[in-house]
Structure formats: C-alpha cells, structure tokens
Structure 1
Amino acid sequence: MADVNLHCSVGAGVCFLPSPVEHDKEFFYPRYHHREFRFDLSKIPEGEAVTAAEFRIYKDYIRERFDNETFRISVYQVLQEHLGRESDLFLLDSRTLWASEEGWLVFDITATSNHWVVNPRHNLGLQLCVETLDGQSINPKLAGLIGRHGPQNKQPFMVAFFKATEVHLRSTRSTGGKQRSQNRSKTPKNQEALRVANVAENSSGDQRQACKKHELYVSFRDLGWQDWIIAPEGYAAYYCEGECAFPLNSYMNATNHAIVQTLVHFINPETVPKPCCAPTQLNAISVLYFDDSSNVILKKYRNMVVRACGCH
C-alpha cells in the first residue's frame, strides 16, 4: 500500500483515497484479545462527504489448531478510550467465516469515516476482534489476520470514495497534460455519473437487495426421479440472487476482480456490467439410488448445496 494519493475520474466525478494503517496494536486483556488500527484521513479534502468507505484486511489460511471452527470477526469504532479498562465501542460491521478460509475481508466503515472527516479529533481508530460462535475470544494473529508488519501486498488498509468537486476535477485534468484537456470536451458525463453515484449511495445500505443466499428446496418427486432415487426425497439446495452494487461490502464475499469490475462500472456504467451473484462455496449430498442393473448404490455428489454466495 505505497500509493496513498488521491485518485479522481475526470469523466465520472468520483475520487477514491487508499489509506494504509498508520498504527496497529495488539491487546491481550484477560479472556479478551483484540487489535486496533488507526488511519490518517487528512488527505481527504475538507468539506467532502464520503459516499463509501471500506476497511480491508487479509486472512491467511491456518492449519490444524482451528479445524472445522467458525469465526465471527467484528469491526468496531472506538468511541472513547479508558485507562485500565476496555474502550467504549460501536459495532460497524461483522462477518462469519470458516477458520480455513483465506483472502481479503471487507468491512463497511462508511458511517465512521464521515464522522472522522468532520471531527478528526474523534478518530480513535477501529477495533477488530475474533470470536468463536460460542463466544471464545481468539488472538487475531492466530486466526490468520495480517497486520501492518506483514507482507506488503497483504497489509491492511482502508479506502474512501467520495464525489469529486470541479476543483478536484480541474486539478486532475491539469496534471494530465494537453491530451486530457482536449478529451474534456468529449466527455460531458458528469451529470450522468453523479446520478449513478447518488443511486449507489442511496442503495448501498439496502441489504435486502444485495447478493445473498435464498431458500430453495428440490423435490426429486417433482423432477420425476422418485423411481430410481431411494433417499432422500429431496434436499435444500438454495440459490444465489441479488445485486452486486457499489460499494461491495463484507456480506457479498466479492473476489478482487469483482471489486475492481464494480468500481469500473461505477465510474463508467457503459464500459462493463456489474459482477454477477453466484455460489462461492458448495457442499455435497449423499444419495441412495438404483443403478441400471437395479443395484442399490450410495454415492456422494459434490457441489449440490449452496453454502455461500458472492459477487464474481
């Protein structure tokens, strides 16, 4: 995360600012482990409203110790710090995942980022904690979460998106030289782009429409397979449906490619469509059936049940 410059799209009226972790500290209170992260948001221009902000942290694959364990990872805003006792916190986002999962985890921190921009002295950072489903606190490092001292391509960071004013657009154009200033007259898209930005901003909190898993029961009798399938009579297959809209949050299990594609679509909707909502994890089922010779066979069929959905 060496690049911390402000990036603006001249045609779309959108800017984004990646910000590395400035401070990363582990805490080990009795029975409660957590980690705190702080960011410098001073490069966000004064008076700008953040339309979306995300905290991204990488989780490595871990072996043996937490086999078949499920983690709940929660990110909190630190409201007030106290000497000798735990800080006052406000839950921003959380997600549940298998201990064996690896990849970038994305948490929505839009609300607190706007608060920090308006009131910088209230920027006390984020607190991250990891728990098992029965409430046992886990050291984030042992859970595979990479801090600011990890490999450079896996260090945590936050990224803030906001609408660019004409001042920022002119600044971006001037640094691009003659060719960009010539192209300016050919890209009168600001109004349309801002309309798209408004739609994205208004719909980003609507989790009902976001990509997620839905109920689907498949009856083998309805498919006409009851004569050769002995058991089960059917099964819960589930299916994936929903929007993969900007910004992609932690509930959407998005790939890095989908995140980039969503940003490109947000900046220029005519260039590329939104990512698709599809299964990211599938489970097997066992089926007892008659084969062609009327032998009874028990077979496990892979990838039959949707376990999780995401944006691809």
Structure 2
Amino acid sequence: AAALQRLREVFDIEELPPDVLPRKKPPQFMVDLFNKVADANGITRAPGLLQGDVVRSFEDRVHVDHHHFYFDISAMEKGEQMLKAEFRVFKLKRTHRSRRSDVQHFCKVEVYELLKHENKPQKKHLIASRLLSLYAEGWEVFNVTQTVSKWVRNSSSNHGFWITTTRVSSNGMEHDVVTFAKSQGALQESRNALLVLFTNSNKRRSHSFVPSATSSSSASMSRRPRAASSPLTACHRRELYVDFHAIGWSGWIIHPSGYNAFYCRGSCIFPLGEGLNATNHATVQSIVYTLKLSQEVSMPCCVPDELKSLNLLYFDDKQNVVLKNYKDMVATRCGCH
C-alpha cells in the first residue's frame, strides 16, 4: 500500500479516478496530441513538442442550447500556470443550398463570453469573429486564453461561451445559418465541443521513478529473467516494465498500457571502459578502491546518467482527459558515478 501511494505521488494523482474505460471514449484531438508528442510507450519523441507539461481537455456540458457552450474547469490545480486556452467546435455542413442568385457563400461567426447566467437578452462580450464557408464542415479553433485566465482566477465569472452565426442575403440578415455539433449519443461524441488548456504544473517532481538495482521485483514491475552471471558484470542497462494493468490503473489510463522504465545494474570496477560513461571522479574512485588505498572508499555506483520523460494520457477523477508529461522517468543510459 505504501509503495502504491508513493507511485501515486510520482504520477501526481491525488484521488484515484474511477474506471471508465473502455466505456468512455477520449476526444480524438487528445489521442492525436499524445501520438504527436510520444511513441507507443509514452516516451517523449523530442523536446519542445508540447507547450507546458500538462494539457487538460474539458467537454461541453450544455446539450440542449445550440448557442451556449459551458465547461467546468474546476479540475485545474492551485499554482497551475495557464499558457494557452483553445475553444474547439465542430461546424456542421449546411444541408440545403440557397438559390443560385444568392452568391453569398460565407457566414459570420461570433464567439462571446457570457457575462451573466440565464439573462435574456444575454449580456455578453465579443471574444472573436471570423468568416466561414457555409458548406464546409470541420473543426474551428478559437484562442480564448484571456477569457479563461479570468475564469481560472475567479470561477464564479465562468458562464460559458455563446456563438452566433449570421449572413447577409437578398432577404436581409439571416441568423443561425449554420450549427455546431453537440454531443447527442455516440454518433456525435467525437465531435463534441472542447475547451483545451495548455498549462505548466509548476510542481517540482524531484522524485522520478527509475528504480535502482536494489528495488524489489513485483507483479507490476517485471524484470526479464537473467542468466547466471558473475557478480562482476559491468554496469549496464536492464529492462524493467511497469504494467498499469497489474497495478490496477488500466481503467482510467488511456495510453500507454505500461512502459519500460529500465534500471542500471553491474559493477564499476577499474578499468572503466568507454561504454561505462564514467566521470573522471568515478575513474579516480575506482582506482583508489582497486588499490585499496582507503578502507572507507566504495566502488563507484552504476546509475542512470541519461533520462527521458514519459507522457500519460488519462481520465482524471472528473472524467476530463488529461495529457501530462513527467520528467526523468525512463533510463536511456547507465554510467558509473
């Protein structure tokens, strides 16, 4: 129990989320983002692909009104610094075409912040506007960083967004000429509106999870069986697979299903070859140890000297999908230090 509690601290999980997989589907945008920044094992492909170290997605909570979009962002943590906020809505294709004499194929889309709840007419503040083709369909993305920053500071000011669509035709001004997808069962779930926040957790996760050679093996962290070898095998990297299914976390972690943390094992006895990535200090220490110049000096240690970050895509305890980057989680190289 203490070990699993420690593991939760490493992964920054305060409350264990409920098991929602495979029943609940994550937004495709978040799955695509994970695949862009990480390989199948969750290892970061290249530094700088992600803005910040946390991406939170919130789904629209209003299913009736086609103008109103509301997102509960209370899962944001204290001290989390918001870098960017995107309001993502899927524009549906207009089904009936106008008369040919009507050459106006564009409509004006305006996104407002609602200033008060359930006011008619609505008190609202214009955030963004653009022209869109009437007959195209697809995702529209609006930068709403300033507005959402205000909501983060003061949650009671969050009344959601309001969208209007208008166009000028021969009959004058037409309203509600196009609609944006709302969640209506499984068919439209993948097109449900999203609020995506890119943030910095500002937490010093000093406790990385790369087990040492002395860690005990368990069902959730399996090592490959090793051949009988002499105790003087040189320092090298060995496999250590962390299986989220065995830990009991597979009901809410979307990707990856587990990952290879690797660990370092072996001796650092003189002479230290080039492949042992030894520091000058470790080389001197190994010589002093070999020559027995001091009874107190031990052999240098075989430890990770190069680490990569891990990315986790998961449902949080409020069933929002989160992509989080954890530094120094995978040993990519071992050395004598």
**So what's the TM-score if we normalise by structure 1?**
0.48
User: Per residue, is there more strand in 1 or in 2?
Assistant: 1
- Which has the greater radius of gyration? 2
TM-score by length of 2: 0.45
